Amino acid sequence: MTGQIVQFGIDALSLGSLYALMALGLVIVYGILKLVNFAYGELVMVTGYTLFLLNGSPLPWLVMALVAVIIAILTGISTELVAFKPVREKSVTAVLITSFAFSTLLQNFVLLFISPRARQVPLPDIFTQTVELAGVIVPLRNLLTIACAFIMLGLFSWALKKTVLGIALRAAASQFRMARMLGVPANLIITTAFAISGLFAGVVGILWLGRIGSVVPGIGLEPLLVAFIATVIGGMRSLQGAVVGGFLLAFVDVSLNYLLPQHLLQFRDAFTFSFVILFLLMKPDGLIPGPASGERT
């Protein structure tokens, strides 16, 4: 019994950690621009393919992972430059389309120059090893995921509270125009938000690939969807909401994994979505509605 609880707890926590990081990466940009970045999933994809391309290079794996995350950050920043900046003042619809377009562009680039089929990425043994905890066999990568997420969440919330840039980011999320009137440069804030988004997507990418082992051009869809649902559950306006939403969604997913009989397991997502719909009917603003926010800029 305790074994099962431990197993369930670690499954839910590690999936929740991933979901929370995914959601944070999406909501940090949404918070500032009030726009959803539909090319967000491709940041995960880019991480995967960078890792794939570095396969066989003499670099230690940790350096490869670092390079992959850096590429994700740079791709995040270019999303802003290519898809958002030119049109973000004109209309919401335009940004919707350009971010979709950028996402398609990146995917097609990979389809054309690499392959439509799955590609193995290099992974160190730690991702396949297991440990015994309270009598159950636990994949080490799950513990690694939890540790990674907690470190990142801790650092992130520290930076948001204690650094000037962090405070400015939070201010810009609630009153962008006022923050600018105090001298906070709009471009710095927006670029930082996209860079953080890329950082989260990159780390998520590495941990996600650690679970599935290979990368395909469409790999970004699930993280985007998960992040989107988690933020909607949590409340689009708050960072805490995104984290809570991520953990809640993972809790539901893992519970269904444990509870659903075998023949219904393939329909798990249908159950998850039903839960999300019911939830939104009861709490349309999400769990943590967040501060009343300023206008879109």
Which chain residues interact with other proteins by CB under 8 A?
164, 167-168, 170-171, 174-175, 177-186, 290-292, 294
CB of 29 to other proteins, least distance (A): 18
Give least dist CB 23 to other proteins, A. 18
Q: Which is nearest to 179 in space by CA: 26, 34, 294?
A: 294
Q: From CA 231, how far away is CA 199, in angstroms rounded?
A: 18
- Minimum CB distance to other proteins smaller for 177 or for 283: 177
Percent of the chain as helix, strand, coil, to the nearest 5: 75, 5, 20
CB of 196 to other proteins, least distance (A): 18
Closer residue to other proteins in complex, CB, 78/293? 293
Q: How far apart are the C-alpha atoms of 281 and 123, rounded to whole Å?
A: 42
Q: Which of 30, 8, 42 is nearest to 216 (CA)?
A: 42
Report, in Å, the least distance between residue 184 CB and other proteins: 6
Cβ nearer to other proteins, comparing 175 with 272: 175
User: Between 231 and 297, whose beta carbon lies closer to other proteins?
Assistant: 297
Residue 64 or 179: the one with the smaller Cβ distance to other proteins is 179
SS3 195: helix
Q: State which residue, 89 or 269, has the beta carbon closest to other proteins.
A: 89
Strand ranges (DSSP E) for the chain?
Answer: 119-120, 130-133, 136-139, 214-215
Cα distances (Å, whole numbers) of residue 199 to 67, 191, 282, 286: 11, 12, 33, 25
In the complex, the smallest distance separating the C-beta of residue 190 from other proteins, rounded to whole angstroms, is 12
The CB-of-230 to other proteins minimum distance in angstroms stands at 20
Q: Closest Cα to residue 199, out of 40, 1, 10?
A: 40
